[in-house]
Amino acid sequence: MAASSVFKAGLFNHKVAIVTGGGTGIGKAITSELLQLGCSVVISSRKLDRLESAAEELTQKIPPSSPAKVTPIQEACLHGRIDFLVNNGGGQFSSPVNMMSAKGWKAVIDTNLNGTFLCCREAYNAWMKDHGGVIINIIADMWKGFPRMAHTGAARAAVDNLTKSLAIEWADSGVRINSVAPGTIISKTAMENYKDIGPTMFKMSVPFSPAKRLGVPEEVSPAVCFLLSPAASYITGATLKVDAGQSLYHSVWEIPDHTAWPPAPEGENTDILREIMDMTKSKL
Ligand SMILES: CCCCCCCCCCC/C=C/C(=O)SCCNC(=O)CCNC(=O)[C@H](O)C(C)(C)COP(=O)(O)OP(=O)(O)OC[C@H]1O[C@@H](n2cnc3c(N)ncnc32)[C@H](O)[C@@H]1OP(=O)(O)O
Ligand SMILES: NC(=O)C1=CN([C@@H]2O[C@H](COP(=O)(O)OP(=O)(O)OC[C@H]3O[C@@H](n4cnc5c(N)ncnc54)[C@H](OP(=O)(O)O)[C@@H]3O)[C@@H](O)[C@H]2O)C=CC1
């Protein structure tokens, strides 16, 4: 049973949600919980076959008495009621910035920042402006920067700020909007995106989690359902980190010892600085 059992089935009866990337990983877990809570969900992304098989699987689990249904679509064409929008679809590839092409940079910014902007704008103009609603933007643990994934770090930080702007701009329409920032969350689909380096990349993250394990999508979806629910009726413009404290702990990134840094200015602290640096070097 999903963690959303803290809420009663039927909590979202007759509500309608759009979950981008709702056919895999975190998006699928969110869709599954929303369906259990009675919400109808439109799932959208690029690969229609994956969306359709997820929809088929999730439909089997909807209780017969529930009004909920799941609809897979390739384009997030928006019409009719949209109570909830979860901007979850996205991702990136790993590359040092100096090796990134402008096209690659733009693809990641388009997917994660521009896509989120467009979905928010369309949902607002089509429905939420006149009827209110709730938006959740899935971002990432980019609080210490995101070395080797700088494009997505920049895009997610921008989405976090967009969330805050929209919380104010759209408050008078009764729209709440918040961000959820997952730590490293393992799923088959998330790992497969990174091909051969996927397992290594996810494994290397484990010691850097205070939990000493990775999270799973079913640990993110309850946070999203909470923020969508009336239990969060006074929360907007907030960012909820679902990362077991990962963002407060060590960075995955090692900086090798080097002597490239500009020297400190000469002055009254020069001698003590040298002494400490010599002691440090002799210990290495
Ligand atoms: C070693 C690093 C260690 C980091 C350690 C941290 C620990 C792990 C933390 C993990 C945290 C985050 C996890 C997740 O987000 S899981 C989600 C997983 N899902 C995804 O990532 C989805 C992946 N794919 C996409 O989102 C899109 O395909 C993408 C945005 C990447 C591209 O979108 P689009 O379809 O619009 O573009 P194209 O595929 O046509 O590509 C356009 C150009 O982009 C460049 N590119 C694309 N892929 C790569 C690649 N793998 N490597 C280098 N460059 C790439 C390229 O220039 C493309 O143009 P060309 O094809 O013409 O060259
Ligand atoms: N797993 C993790 O550790 C973390 C994940 N995240 C973010 O959470 C979200 C979900 O990732 P997760 O479930 O882990 O991984 P998945 O790879 O399973 O999910 C990514 C989803 O995004 C969809 N997607 C990718 N590009 C686009 C696009 N251009 N337009 C529409 N949909 C797209 C994919 O579907 P399709 O291929 O059919 O388009 C897929 O369903 C992503 O934004 C991810 O970056 C953030 C922090 C950590």
CA-to-CA dists, residue 46 to 21, 41, 146, 172, 272, angstroms:
8, 17, 25, 33, 59
Provide the angle, in degrees to the nearest 10, between the axes of the packed helices 115-123 and 150-169: 20
What pLDDT was estimated at residue 1? Answer: 46
Could you read off the pLDDT of 112-138 as tens digits, one per residue?
999 999 999 999 999 999 999 999 999
Q: Measured in angstroms, how far is the CA atom of residue 92 from the centroid of ligand 1?
A: 3
Is 272 inside any structural domain?
no
Is 162 inside any structural domain?
yes
Is 81 inside any structural domain?
yes
Is 65 inside any structural domain?
yes
pTM: 0.97
Which residue, 144, 138, 151, 59, is CA-closest to 98? 151
Tell me how far apart the alpha carbons of residues 108 and 78 are, in angstroms, rounded to a whole number: 23
Q: Measured in angstroms, how far is the CA atom of residue 230 from the centroid of ligand 2?
A: 26
Pocket around ligand 1: residues whose beta carbon is below 6 Å from it?
90-95, 101, 103-104, 107-108, 111, 140, 148, 184, 190, 193, 197, 201-202, 205, 252
Q: What is the CATH number of the domain that holds 181?
A: 3.40.50.720
Give me the domain span that covers residue 76: 3-257
Tell me how far apart the alpha carbons of residues 91 and 193 are, in angstroms, rounded to a whole number: 9
Average pLDDT of the segment spanning 201-230 = 98
Is 201 inside any structural domain?
yes
Tell me how far apart the alpha carbons of residues 25 and 69 are, in angstroms, rounded to a whole number: 19
What pLDDT was estimated at residue 280? Answer: 87
Could you read off the pLDDT of 13-58 as tens digits, one per residue?
999 999 999 999 999 999 999 999 999 999 999 999 999 999 999 9
Is 278 inside any structural domain?
no
Name the closest-CA residue to atom 18, ligand 1: 190
Residue 231 pLDDT grade (very low, low, confident, very high; cuts 50, 70, 90)? very high
Could you read off the pLDDT of 142-167 as tens digits, one per residue?
999 999 999 999 999 999 999 999 99
Which residue, 161, 177, 163, 25, is CA-closest to 91? 25
Choose which residue among 189, 208, 224, 247 to substitute to test ligand 2 binding: the one with the highest number of ligand atoms within 8 A of its C-beta: 189
Q: Quote the ipTM score.
A: 0.97
Name the closest-CA residue to atom 22, ligand 2: 89
